[in-house]
């Protein structure tokens, strides 16, 4: 298998991606050709940690190397579309990270340019392929004729009592309803995939224990065009040993699916999503129940990205629309954070 030469740009979180590209399954597909960060000291430090990886002075220099076929772009979301457009204009493929970009218009432009040039732009959330647990939920809905989706409550928390540091995490415009934007975004994107076209958004938030000026506790409510109601709660204030566990309750007309609801009782909770389906058995308080553990996978789908680089399944309009739909909800969420009102998704 011919590996694709890849560079990693943005090395704070990006150093995790460097490690993954060198040491995980992804190493079968990619060969790290350079790393790059505006902070030269950070780049040198990451380089030394991994056997003196080549450090590129900047993105332009890196893109002049013909052995580079793709870029893993791990810079902050605001302004990321402009960098994507630069990479796409050099006919390189892009893997990036959540949240895709703060501005839906900028994101749309970048995705349109990628489509025109036949270049792949993928990210981890929404990922190009739905997760095994999402596929299982859809299978149950068909198999048991669960009917229309009615509502969804999703939550996710971590303990991050960090002080302010002047980064984008402290900026309300760059990081609206911070816990939802930073970690709840996975569940928000998944909820949009499962519930359909988002229509309007409300927000509640507070700041309980972190030193940052942005909220550390937040929830966003979404009304969907089909009448379904969704809610995502995310917090940086809970230290219970379950950081980043994605939990979701999903009601259909004739059944309810619980994903990771209640404390984990499996030996390796990070490796699986614990799905339970409850549906009517015609006996009061005795629903039929089914339980399946679906495998969790790295949210960066390196294999699908590799295939896209080789020309198959670059990304259809459906994927682009899923990405844009999530950003439009975030834009409405940012307006609702400021106005305190219900805001339409534009
Ligand atoms: N599990 C995950 O997938 C995961 C985890 C954490 C963060 N993230 C995401 O990763 C992204 C970055 O987060 P972060 O916490 O590292 O942000 P950060 O602001 O702490 O760091 C960004 C880094 O990118 C560098 N940078 C910015 N613009 C650049 C440019 N034009 N060229 C080269 N380097 C540039 C900065 O110097 C900085 O070192 C965010 O979108 C975040 O949500 C994903």
User: Stretch 218-226: mean pLDDT, rounded?
Assistant: 98
Q: How confident is the model at residue 276 (pLDDT cuts 50, 70, 90)?
A: very high
Q: What is the pLDDT of residues 103-135, one digit of tens each?
A: 999 999 999 999 999 999 999 999 999 999 999
Q: What is the pLDDT of residue 285?
A: 83
Query: Any idea where the domains of the chain sit in the sequence?
Result: 4-127+300-314, 132-296+329-344
Task: State the pLDDT at residue 281.
Answer: 84
Q: Is the CB of 102 under 6 A from ligand 1?
A: no
Closest residue by CA, ligand 1 atom 7: 13
Helix (H) or strand (E) holding 36: strand 30-36
Does the pLDDT of residue 145 top 80, yes or no? yes
- To test the ligand 1 pocket, which listed residue (44, 60, 97, 327) has its Cβ within 8 A of the most ligand atoms? 97
Question: pLDDT at position 192, please?
Answer: 97
Sheet holding 30-36, edge to edge: 30-36, 4-9, 70-73, 93-96, 121-123
Give the span between the Cα atoms of 112 and 117, in whole angstroms: 9
228 Cβ contact list (under 8 Å, min separation 6): 148, 149, 150, 151, 152, 195, 196
Q: Is 97 in the pocket of ligand 1 (CB under 6 A)?
A: yes
Ligand 1 and 101: CB distance under 6 A: no
Looking at residues 227-247, what average pLDDT do you find?
A: 96
In terms of CATH architecture, what is 4-127+300-314?
3-Layer(aba) Sandwich (3.40)
- Ligand 1 contact via 20 beta carbon (within 6 Å): no
Residue 38: per-residue pLDDT = 96
Cα 114–Cα 75–Cα 172 angle in degrees, nearest 5: 110
Report residue 315's pLDDT band, with 50, 70 and 90 as the boundaries.
low
Q: Is the CB of 117 under 6 A from ligand 1?
A: no
Report the nearest-CA residue for atom 22 of ligand 1.
Answer: 75
* Partners of 229 in the β-ladder: 151, 223
Quote the mean pLDDT of the chain: 95
Task: Classify each residue of 281-290 as buried b or exposed e, where b means 16 or more C-beta atoms within 10 Å of its C-beta.
Answer: eeeeeeeeee
State yes or no: pLDDT of 314 exceeds 80.
Answer: no
Q: How confident is the model at residue 179 (pLDDT cuts 50, 70, 90)?
A: very high
Give the mean model confidence (pLDDT) for residues 78-91: 97
Would you say the C-alpha torsion 176, 177, 181, 185 has a positive or negative sign?
A: negative
30: three-class secondary structure by DSSP: strand
* 76, 80, 166: residue to mutate for ligand 1 pocket, most atoms within 8 A of CB: 76
**What is residue 297's predicted lDDT score, i.e. its pLDDT?**
76
Question: Judging by DSSP bridges, how do beta strands 121-123 and 149-157 pair with one another?
Answer: unpaired
Q: CA–CA separation, 96 vs 70, rounded Å? A: 11
pTM of the entire predicted model: 0.96
| pLDDT confidence of residue 206 | 97
* Res. 35: pLDDT tops 90: yes
pLDDT of residue 104: 97
Question: Would you state the pLDDT for residue 267?
Answer: 83
Task: Quote the pLDDT of residue 313.
Answer: 64
If one residue of 8, 9, 12 were mutated to test the ligand 1 pocket, choosing by the most ligand atoms within 8 A of its CB, it would be 12
Confidence of residue 275 (pLDDT cuts 50, 70, 90): very high
The more confidently predicted of residues 63 and 296 is 63
Superfamily (CATH H level) for 132-296+329-344: Dihydrodipicolinate Reductase; domain 2 (3.30.360.10)
**DSSP letters along 197-260, please?**
-EEEEEEEEE--S-BSSS-SEEEEEEEETTS-EEEEEEESB--SS-TT--EEEEEETTEEEEES
CA 74 – ligand 1 centroid, Å: 5
Whose C-alpha lies nearest to ligand 1, atom 41? 76
Average pLDDT over residues 303-317: 85
* Distance of CA 92 from the midpoint of ligand 1 (Å): 20
Phi, psi of 182, rounded to the nearest 5 degrees: -85, -45
């Amino acid at each position: 298998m011919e590996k694709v030469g890849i560079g990693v740009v943005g090395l704070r979180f990006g150093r995790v991606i460097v490690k993954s590209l060198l040491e995980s399954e992804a190493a079968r597909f990619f060969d790290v050709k350079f790393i790059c960060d505006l902070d030269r000291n950070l780049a040198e430090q990451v380089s030394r940690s991994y056997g003196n990886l080549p450090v590129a002075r900047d993105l332009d220099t890196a893109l002049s190397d013909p052995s580079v076929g793709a870029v893993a772009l791990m810079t902050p979301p605001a302004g990321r579309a402009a960098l994507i457009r630069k990479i796409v204009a050099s006919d390189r493929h892009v893997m990036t990270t959540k949240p895709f970009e703060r501005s839906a218009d900028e994101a749309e432009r970048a995705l349109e340019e990628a489509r025109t040039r036949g270049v792949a732009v993928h990210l981890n959330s929404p990922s190009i392929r739905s997760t095994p647990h999402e596929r299982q939920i859809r299978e149950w809905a068909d198999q048991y004729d669960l009917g229309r989706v009615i509502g969804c409550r999703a939550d996710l928390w971590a303990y991050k009592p960090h002080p302010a540091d002047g980064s984008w995490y402290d900026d309300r415009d760059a990081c609206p309803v911070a816990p939802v934007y930073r970690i709840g975004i996975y569940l928000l994107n998944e909820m949009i995939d499962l519930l359909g076209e988002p229509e309007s958004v409300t927000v509640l938030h507070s700041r309980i224990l972190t030193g940052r000026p942005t909220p550390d506790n937040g929830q966003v409510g979404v009304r969907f065009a089909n009448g379904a109601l969704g809610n995502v709660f995310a917090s940086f204030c809970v230290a219970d040993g379950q950081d980043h566990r994605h939990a979701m309750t999903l009601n259909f007309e004739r059944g309810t699916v619980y994903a990771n609801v209640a404390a984990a009782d499996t030996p390796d909770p990070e490796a699986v999503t614990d799905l339970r389906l409850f549906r009517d058995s015609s006996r009061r308080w005795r629903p039929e129940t089914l339980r399946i553990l679906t495998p969790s996978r790295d949210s960066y789908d390196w294999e699908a990205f590799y295939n896209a680089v080789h020309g198959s399944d670059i990304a259809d309009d459906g994927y682009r629309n899923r990405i844009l739909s999530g950003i439009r909800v975030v834009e409405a969420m940012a307006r609702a954070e400021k106005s305190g009102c219900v805001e339409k998704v534009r």
